[in-house]
Amino acid sequence: MDKHERKPERRSQGRLEPLARRREKKSAEERARVAARLDTPREVRRSLVRRPTVRQDAFGIFAEQFARFMGTAKFLIYMTLFVIIWVLWNLLAPGDFRWDDYPFIFLTLMLSLQASYAAPLILLAQNRQEVRDRVINEQDRQANARAHADMEFLAREVASLRMALGEVATRDFLRSELRNLVEELGEAEDEDTAQRSGDDAS
């Protein structure tokens, strides 16, 4: 009985193995098809060694401060004094105390190393300044657009007020109307007095 029971299991396992291979093959083909499409993002592979993380903002601030310091006269004076001391020491000091003889190769190496680090830091500071300028220009543009819209609104309001004031009676107009009314009333009173005197005379 056990032998008969084991045979179908082996057969089923034999059938399942090709099915699993087919599924793996299909999934690999689907992955390749999806990877070939441009609108699907690629899977990010995680590296075994973690990359060092740098705070971009802090590093950018350091680069700006360094570039600002390099553009000052103080930095030029310090560098000039450093080079003069270096050259004088290596020319005038006893032979055992010199570390860089006449061609000053080590000094040249240090200055070129400083320049190779200074150039990217200055470029980084310039890039940050460009981004800052772009943000400031965008804010200025939005503020100018708002101010322009406010000016247009105020101009429309002033025009509507002028039109409304044009329909309002002025002081001279009221005076002239009151004079006309007074004259009409005076004429009406004169006519009434004339009629009364005519009636009394008759």
pLDDT score of 2 more than 60: no
For residue 161 the two structure tokens come to 């007020």
Q: Are 100 and 86 in contact (CB under 8 A)?
A: yes
> For 82, phi and psi rounded to 5 degrees?
-60, -45
The residue behind tokens 């705070």 is 55
pLDDT value for 1: 46
Query: Between these two residues, 179 and 7, which has the higher pLDDT value?
Result: 179
pLDDT value for 146: 92
d(CA 102, CA 89): 11
pLDDT value for 100: 82
Specify the amino acid at residue 81: L
Structure confidence by residue, pLDDT tens digits, 33-42: 655 565 555 6
**Contacts by 151-156, CB closer than 8 A, 24 or more apart:** none
Q: What is the residue extent of each domain of the chain?
A: 56-138
Lowest-pLDDT range of 32-46, 61-75, 121-135, 140-154: 32-46
pLDDT score of 78 more than 90: yes
Q: What is the pTM of this model?
A: 0.45
Q: Are 87 and 103 in contact (CB under 8 A)?
A: no
d(CA 80, CA 75): 9
pLDDT score of 103 more than 80: yes
pLDDT score of 28 more than 90: no
Lowest-pLDDT range of 37-41, 47-51, 62-66, 155-159: 37-41
